[in-house]
Amino acid sequence: MAPVRRRPNAARQSQRVAFRQTDPGSPRAYDPRWAESFACVRDLVVGALGAGHAVWHVGSTAVPGMIAKPVIDADLLVPDVLDERAWLPKLEAVGFRLVFRDVIAGAAHRQLTLGNPDTNLHVWQPEAVEPQRHRLFAEWLRSRPEDRQAFADAKAEAVSADKGVRYNDAKAAVVCDIYEQAFASEPNHSHDAHPRP
């Protein structure tokens, strides 16, 4: 896999087209009901778009034992992200709102939110690398308590970081370190290591 090249989250704001329906709040202890919330999101997406669309639970709420903001992160694959007429109106009809149009890791990406349950829905094409990374990251954290703790500590520090630093930027260094370990151990992908200096 290609190295993770993080750009500051603040720089991404120029691609924002709307704001989320519900404030994400602060990180909290893992809640087993997050799995049920994801199931509701998955059913809503499949009901809107039809069977055959891959939807995965990713992010911290997909990792039992991980502290997280109470927001479900989900990845959705569609045949053509740029053909918004084929999928966006159907998702908007069931309550999703488009908030970002951008490119991440070289792939077109759309981010939608939902108010209840509070959700970030990331829309990609099947060949996009980033959703593969998301699944690998969650699987890695599920099986490695020491990295879960390191990530939890980074989240706690990010919450108390200088107000001029965005939450995602404050925890980015630890995220990149964990990705490097996960990519290096992934047998199905070659990886050119890029540890932080």
Token pair 């479900």 is found at: 72
pLDDT (average), residues 150-167: 72
Q: What is the pLDDT of residues 25-45, one digit of tens each?
A: 888 999 999 999 999 999 999
The torsion of the CA quartet 135, 140, 145, 146, rounded to 10 degrees, works out to -120
Which residues make Cβ contacts (< 8 Å) with residue 141, sequence separation at least 6? 60, 63, 66, 147, 148, 151, 178
Q: Which long-range contacts (CB under 8 A, 24 or more apart) does 155-163 make?
A: 155/27, 155/60, 155/67, 155/68, 156/27, 156/67, 159/26, 159/27
Question: Roughly how many angstroms between the first and final C-alpha of the chain, as a whole number?
Answer: 19
Residue 179 has a pLDDT of 73
Q: What are the angstrom distances between the C-alpha of 86 and each of 48, 79, 146, 188?
A: 11, 9, 43, 32
Least confident of 8-22, 69-83, 127-141: 8-22
Helix (H) or strand (E) holding 100: strand 97-104
| Strand 97-104 relative to strand 72-77, pairing | unpaired
Residue 3 has a pLDDT of 43
Sheet with 107-114, strands from edge to edge, namely 55-58, 72-77, 119-124, 107-114, 97-104
Q: What span, in angstroms and rounded, lies between the C-alpha atoms of 114 and 116?
A: 6
Residue 2 has a pLDDT of 42
Residue 176: band (very low, low, confident or very high) from pLDDT cuts 50, 70, 90: confident
Q: Give the other-Cβ count within 10 Å of 56's Cβ.
A: 18
The yes-or-no verdict on residue 188 having pLDDT over 90 is no
Give the type of residue at 16.
R
Q: What span, in angstroms and rounded, lies between the C-alpha atoms of 138 and 64?
A: 10
Residue 12 has a pLDDT of 59
Phi, psi at residue 28, to the nearest 5°?
A: -145, 170
